[in-house]
């Protein structure tokens, strides 16, 4: 397959630019497109055969569910059995945006999309190109991250091309994704919200609407995954990652002691000042800016992976707010290889 690479031109209307790719999606093709979180690999979410192409292109296990992308509540309604009042309140507050809702699926949703489960994950992206593409396709778009399964999610189109060139019909380039981490995935259980995957819509934000907790098994090796990204190793570069946790100053001192030019370091600007300058250092931002870490995490992992580093040492941060999502992704990238500094 020859993959087309299309750069979005914001001096022109989006509709005509994405219209041909909407037709490709309706015909069962694959289109990689930007969202506010990460780039997605889209297919017709109501076409079982099209959804199967996603699993093949990514090398993704077929029991790992896909998220359906819609424009709004009206797009959600046909896909689920009901929309509870609490879910309506969440939609009013957080859609369009990086919140995925897990609800009992309707009969029109193929089990290929749900990984064999009885629930479906749905969200409404806010990114203009994503929304124009959904409109052009006229169907919900099944779209996991546009990368080879298990690798760091792409936040730029060149990263998509690196993994999926020759595997998809087209890649739409609209620059870097704003948030840089996948959406929050949440389920309603009785009157409680359960977070299956943390993201930019934080536990603290959701707690304003109902009692909210993290799922006790964000990684499970048995049964059908409850939501995308729960069962398998994710977000990992080719080389081993080691996550350093503890008090900030102690982490900084420990990383300085470990310095070796053959290692890659994913660190804050403050920690970088304690290390020799070099191409093996990736600075994600100021230490207090967890959102910057979120936005640059995957770019940093991919960059260090390409520098021929033998291993990557990553600086941990507080798990408050979006820091919870950052640490969730780092733990998975490191396969839970944590070095707690005391």
Give percent helix, percent strand, percent coil of the chain, each to the nearest 5. 30, 20, 45
235 labeled part of a ligand binding site: yes
Bridge partner list, 126: none
Strand runs labelled E in 127-237: 141-142, 170-173, 184-189, 192-197, 212-214
Residue 143 marked as a ligand binder: yes
245 in the same domain as 215: no
> How many other C-beta atoms lie within 10 A of the C-beta of residue 218?
17
| Domain with 66 in it | 4-220
Residues 266 and 314 in one domain: yes
Can you give the CATH number for the domain in which 296 is found?
3.40.50.11030
pLDDT at residue 234 greater than cutoff 80? no
Q: What is the pLDDT of residue 233?
A: 60
Residue 197 marked as a ligand binder = yes
**Is 201 or 223 the better-scoring residue by pLDDT?**
201
Q: Does residue 229 form part of some domain?
A: no
Provide the domain count of the chain. Answer: 2
pLDDT band at 63 (very low <50, low <70, confident <90, very high): confident
Q: Is 153 annotated as a binding-site member?
A: yes
Tell me if 183 is assigned to a ligand binding site.
Answer: yes
Structure tokens at 259: 């310095």
282 is in an annotated binding site: no
Q: Does 295 share its domain with 332?
A: yes
CB 270 within 8 A of CB 254: no
| DSSP states along 202-238 | -HHHHTTTS-EEE-TTSS-SSSS-SSTTSSS--S--S
Q: Give me 102's structure tokens.
A: 């897990």
**Is the peptide bond between 60 and the residue preceding it cis, with omega within 30 degrees of 0?**
no
- Of 188-202, 210-224, 281-295, least confident by mean pLDDT is 210-224
How large is the C-alpha radius of gyration of the chain?
20
Can you give the pLDDT at residue 171? 99
Q: Is 57 annotated as a binding residue?
A: no
Residues 157 and 74 in one domain: yes
Distance CA 281, CA 247 (A): 21
pLDDT score, position 218: 61
Per-residue pLDDT tens for 239-292?
A: 999 999 999 999 999 999 999 999 999 999 999 999 998 999 999 999 999 999
Residue 92 assigned ligand-binding role: no
The 3-state DSSP class for residue 210 equals coil
Does the annotation list 60 as a binding residue?
yes
Boundary-marking domain end, from 220, 252, 283: 220
Task: Read off the CATH number of the domain in which 150 is found.
Answer: 3.90.870.10
Query: Is there a single domain that holds both residue 78 and residue 138?
Result: yes
Tokens of 247: 């008090």
């Amino acid at each position: 397959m020859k993959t087309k690479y299309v750069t979005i031109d914001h001096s022109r209307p989006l509709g005509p630019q994405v219209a041909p790719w909407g037709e490709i999606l309706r015909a069962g093709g694959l289109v990689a497109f930007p969202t506010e979180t990460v780039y997605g690999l889209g297919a017709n979410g109501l076409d079982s055969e099209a959804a199967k192409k996603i699993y093949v292109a990514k090398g993704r296990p077929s029991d790992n569910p896909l998220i359906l992308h819609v424009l709004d509540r009206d797009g959600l309604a046909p896909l689920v059995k009901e929309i509870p009042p609490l879910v309506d309140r969440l939609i009013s507050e957080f859609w369009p945006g990086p919140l995925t809702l897990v609800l009992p699926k309707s009969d029109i949703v193929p089990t290929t999309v749900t990984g064999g489960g009885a629930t479906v994950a749905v969200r409404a992206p806010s990114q203009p190109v994503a929304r124009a593409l959904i409109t052009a396709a006229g169907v919900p778009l099944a779209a996991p991250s546009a990368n080879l399964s298990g690798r760091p999610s792409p936040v730029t189109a060149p990263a998509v091309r690196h993994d999926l060139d020759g595997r998809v019909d087209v890649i739409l380039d609209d620059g870097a994704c704003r948030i840089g981490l996948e959406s929050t995935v949440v389920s309603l259980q009785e009157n409680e919200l359960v977070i299956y995957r943390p993201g930019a819509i934080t536990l603290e934000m959701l707690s304003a609407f109902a009692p909210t907790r993290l799922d006790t098994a964000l990684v499970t090796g048995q049964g059908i995954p409850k939501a995308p990204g729960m069962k398998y190793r994710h977000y990992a570069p080719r080389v081993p990652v080691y996550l350093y946790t503890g008090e900030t100053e102690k982490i900084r001192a420990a990383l300085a002691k470990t310095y070796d030019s053959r290692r890659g370091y994913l660190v804050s600007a403050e920690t970088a000042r304690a290390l020799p300058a070099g191409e093996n250092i990736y600075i994600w931002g100021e230490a207090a800016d967890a959102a910057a870490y979120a936005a640059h995490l995957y770019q940093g992992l991919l960059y260090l992976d390409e520098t021929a580093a033998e291993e990557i040492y990553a600086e941990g941060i507080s798990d408050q707010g979006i820091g919870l999502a950052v640490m969730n992704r780092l733990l998975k990238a490191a396969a839970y290889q944590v070095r707690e500094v005391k």
